[in-house]
Structure 1
């Protein structure tokens, strides 16, 4: 893989209750811009936090991170690892299942 290959991370968060999901949404409304600012300095080009709405009876959100290249991905993963303890502490009451995927961008039409 070339160092110039664009990479993305896509995480899906599944919550047991709507209240847990709403707390998670509120957290990212408050913290998302701060997190992106830090990651942007490391080569993250996009942060998109979304609510999944087409799965009736479930409570899900997702986040998409896009990175300039493999170095940016590695640098951002290191930053996210540093932030993890704060997020876990702040959201300790939430029981969430996280499904993470790492992706190589093959085609990106805008």
Structure 2
């Protein structure tokens, strides 16, 4: 089925007609020049960003964050491993161990995970 365009399809629509000129307000024009988007402010912000990225404090905090992320990841892994051992499922399953071996294994996982019961 072919679609046929109407007889007005080649004419420009209302969106091609320019709108009226809006009045210029002096206060707003001054404000627009002094906005954070002005070239001078952008340059100042870029300099401040560069200086901040090189600061020892930021580097220290980023390193601390990276260490905390790894520590938290290991804690979560240890807790899931402990849960799997207790339930007898997953990679840390104590299935096939004697009761004594299983208890020792679970106790070791509790110490590793920092779980005190």
TM-score normalized by the length of structure 2: 0.20
Of Structure 1 and Structure 2, the greater helix share is in 2
Of Structure 1 and Structure 2, the greater strand share is in 1
Which structure's CA Rg is the greater one?
Answer: 2
TM-score normalized by the length of structure 1: 0.21
